[in-house]
Amino acid sequence: MNLTLQIWRQKNAEAKGKIVEYPIKDISPDMSFLEMLDILNRQLITNGDTPVAFDHDCREGICGSCSLYINGEAHGPDRRVTTCQLHMRKFKDGDTIFIEPFRADAFPVIKDLVVDRSAFDRIQHAGGFISVNTSGNTQDGNSIPISKHDADEAMDAATCIGCGACVASCKNSSAMLFVGAKVSQYALLPQGQIEATDRVQNMVAQMDLEGFGNCTNTGACEVECPKGISLETIARMNRELIKASVKS
Amino acid sequence: MPGAANEFNEELAKAGRVADFLELGELFAKDALVREESAGGHFREEYQTAEGEAQRRKEFQFVSAWEYKGAPKDAELHKEELVYENIEVKERSYK
């Protein structure tokens, strides 16, 4: 396949960025999108140019590192996949592909297609955990009975990889699908109950502090989420928040 | 090497990782040379029993902890003694 890439280049956070055109030839339809970018970078390095910076790590859809806004969609045109799992067969020979970073005030660009998503880490640090005494007398989690329904819903929420596609897809740059998933995974399980009040209040406060917007129920996040996190998690987060405000 | 040192530079980070692997590889080789015995996956032909099994030596019954001193050749060996209370240390034969 021969393609025309239109890629966002930005030297650093302060620099003004722009779209730069790169033609690329002989791309196999079996390649992943990131492998195609590897080929481009090899060409750029060989020619003495600066390679395009993009985030990647596991390349099997579980680490949440890769991002990219491809032709106006987070993680590209395919559904329920991350950019590393997107194959070039989803495009046609001769296509022009626009590649931009995930855009949000709370995700400032570091370089080219790499954005700073540490705001998510800070939200997690604010409450995305449980505190367990590991003295040796701790009850084995597997011995606590949990209904199949709750276990499944908690597991579905826990599949969130924190990539930020929800934020990039949202017109309000809202992180509520992410925070909803992280709150839900604990709200549904007995281990999460002890710190439930503080958790939801602290995580939502940190989310607001980072400059993420709020949810207006458009649902773009749910469509673009590579893990299929449900909007129900946002409803559950709001329910937890109201519950917490009554309690505290 | 594209780019400079004072900027976000993934290529420089990759080069740094390659340097780490080479240095660690050198330290592994140094550790293997110092350990004049055979033990498990560390097999030296000059230290084998008559049956061709790994020959353990009492004076090497320690864990090597190498202190970083810059280049691997300058690394300093610290020995952490291995004390076995419940098993008898002896050469094994898997034949």
Does the distance separating the beta carbons of B8 and A114 come in below 8 Å?
Answer: yes
Claim to verify: residue A123 and residue A207 sit in the same structural domain: yes
Is the pLDDT confidence value at A43 over 90?
yes
A155-191: pLDDT as tens digits: 999 999 999 999 999 999 999 999 999 999 999 999 9
Domain check: are A84 and A184 in the same one? no
Cα A23 to chain centroid distance, Å, stands at 28
Domain count, chain A: 2
Residue scoring higher pLDDT (A95 or A142) = A95
Distance (Å, whole) CA A65 – CA A110: 14
Q: How many angstroms separate the CA atoms of A241 and B92, rounded?
A: 63
Interface contact flag, A51 B10, Cβ < 8 Å: yes
Which of A14, A49, A50, A118 is most worth mutating to test chain B (most B CB atoms within 10 A of its CB)? A50
Angle at A176 between CA A114 and CA A200, to 5 degrees: 120
CA distance B8 to chain A (A): 7
A104 and A169 assigned to the same domain: no
What is the rounded distance in angstroms from the CA atom of residue A201 to the CA atom of residue A183?
A: 10
Tell whether A125 is covered by a domain.
yes
Residues A166 and A216 in one domain: yes
The Cα-based distances of A245 to A41, A212, A234, B46 in angstroms read 51, 21, 16, 73
Q: Do B3 and A50 touch (CB under 8 A)?
A: yes
Same domain, A96 and A121: no
Same domain for A122 and A20, yes or no, is: no
Place of tokens 């129920």: A217
pLDDT tens by residue, A86-133: 999 999 999 999 999 999 999 999 999 999 999 999 999 999 999 988
Per-residue pLDDT, averaged over A57-72, amounts to 97
Do residues A113 and A54 touch, judged by C-beta distance below 8 A? yes
Q: What is the mean pLDDT of residues A226-243?
A: 98
Provide the shortest C-alpha distance from residue A111 to chain B (in Å).
7
Q: Check pLDDT > 90 for residue B89.
A: no
Structure tokens at A152: 């499944």
Is A111 in contact with B8 (Cβ distance < 8 A)?
Answer: yes
pLDDT classification of A142: cutoffs 50, 70, 90: confident
Q: Is residue A151 predicted with pLDDT exceeding 80?
A: yes
A87 is written with which tokens?
């194959």
Query: What is the percent of chain A with per-residue pLDDT over 70, rounded to a whole number?
Result: 100
Residue A138 lies inside a defined structural domain of this protein: no
Among residues A172, A183, A189, A190, which one has the least CA distance to residue A242?
A183
The two structure tokens encoding residue A120: 């998510």
User: Considering only alpha carbons, which residue of chain B is nearest residue A53?
Assistant: B10
- The domain containing residue A197 runs over which residues? 117-132+143-247
**ipTM greater than 0.95:** no
d(CA A68, CA A123): 22
pLDDT at A227 over 80: yes
**What predicted TM-score, i.e. pTM, was given to this entire model?**
0.85
Q: Which of A10-14, A239-243, B38-42 has the lowest mean pLDDT?
A: B38-42
DSSP designation for A193: S
pLDDT value for B1: 83
CA–CA dist B84, B56 (Å, integer): 15
For residue range B33-56, list pLDDT tens digits in order. 999 999 989 999 999 999 899 999
CATH number where A86 lies: 3.10.20.30
Average pLDDT over all residues of chain B = 93
> Percentage of chain A with pLDDT > 90?
95
| H/E stretch holding A144 | none
Q: What is the pLDDT of residue B69?
A: 96
Measure in Å the smallest separation between the Cα of A65 and chain B Cα atoms: 14
